[in-house]
Structure formats: C-alpha cells, structure tokens
Amino acid sequence: MIYVFLAEGFEEIEALATVDVLRRAKIEVKTIGVDSEIIESAHNLTVVADVRDIKSDFSYLSGIVLPGGMPGVINLQTSAFVKHAIDFCVSENLLIAAICAAPSILGHMGVLNNKKVTCYPGFEQELKGATVIDQDVCRDGNILTARGPGSAIDFALEIIEYLKDEKTAQKIADDIVY
C-alpha cells in the first residue's frame, strides 16, 4: 500500500498524476487527507481523499508519496501524522518519494544525509546533508525525489520500477503513450 498525502495547497499534477499512474500499474494507493478528507489544492481544485490521516495506520504500508505545492508542503511538514509516517518508512527502509518542494521536509528531518536528491529549483538549501543532483528524477536507495509538475509522470514511473520492475513501468509508459 502506498499513501499519497494531500494537504491544503497540494500540487494537483504531482499528486493526482502519480496516483493515476500507480493505479494503472495495479499498485494499491490511498490518498490520505491531512487534517480533513476534503482538501483544496494549490489551484483551487477540491478533492475528497480516500481516508483521513487519523483513520490510517501503517500495517500494510510499502511507502509514501509527498507531493509539492504551496502551502501544501508547509501543511505536510507541520503534520505530526506525516512526520510519523516518514519516521516509520525510515525505520522500515520503505519507499519515501517526494516531489517539487516536498524533499525539503525530508531535509529538515535529517532523512537525506548522504543521499543524492533533486527538488524544485530554489529549495536546494533545504536539503540538509544531501548531494543535490541536476536531473528531473533521482533515486538513491529508498529515497526517490523529483523536480516538479513537469516530472510527475517520470516520478510515478520510477516509483513503479522501484515497487515492481522496469518492464511494468515501460508497459504503463507505453499504455499512456508516453
């Protein structure tokens, strides 16, 4: 199970394209509403999350996705539930995927030490302990990062490759005429 966290002000393309592509690969995904089941995105799109953070547990968790967007990233960063999910994934060596400004949350938590990562331009100084790589998507162990909305499909395909395999990711890419 992959949790995709949605907080007020999340970036729609990064969150919803990722959910869509992962579900096409038959990866079980739940959107988790931070502080509410009804979440408004950065561009005023209202989304109903599958579940709210307080109703979620980590029993079947394979990893998490942290979308960017402002003030979505700030709202993710202030959520005790999101921090607990990140800590759980670190302790269990599960996938932690963050896109756009969201890798900054991991930098602030000290999760990126000695990791190669990428992020939205201008957030590099927030990636404490990391080596910043100039590419759209970067995977280092269980940490997967991406630059922004324009790299959302590549981000999702890399998650598929991590969780399943390259063949499955390529099939999905072909299916969506990528």
Q: φ and ψ at 177, to 5 degrees?
A: 55, 50
- Does residue 97 lie within any of the structural domains? yes
- Does residue 60 lie within any of the structural domains? yes
Say if CB 114 and CB 106 are below 8 A apart: no
pLDDT at 56: 82
CA 121 distance to own-chain centroid = 17
- Does residue 20 lie within any of the structural domains? yes
pLDDT at 178: 86
Q: Which of 89, 100, 119, 138 is catalytic?
A: 100
- Does residue 178 lie within any of the structural domains? no
Domain of residue 30, CATH code? 3.40.50.880
Whole-prediction pTM? 0.97
Question: Distance between CA atoms of 106 and 77, rounded to whole angstroms?
Answer: 9
pLDDT tens by residue, 139-152: 999 999 999 999 99
Range of the domain at 84: 2-171
Burial class (CB in 10 A: 0-12, 13-18, 19+), 6: buried
When divided into structural domains, the chain yields a total of 1
- Does residue 114 lie within any of the structural domains? yes
Asked about 100 being catalytic, the answer comes back as yes
- Does residue 177 lie within any of the structural domains? no
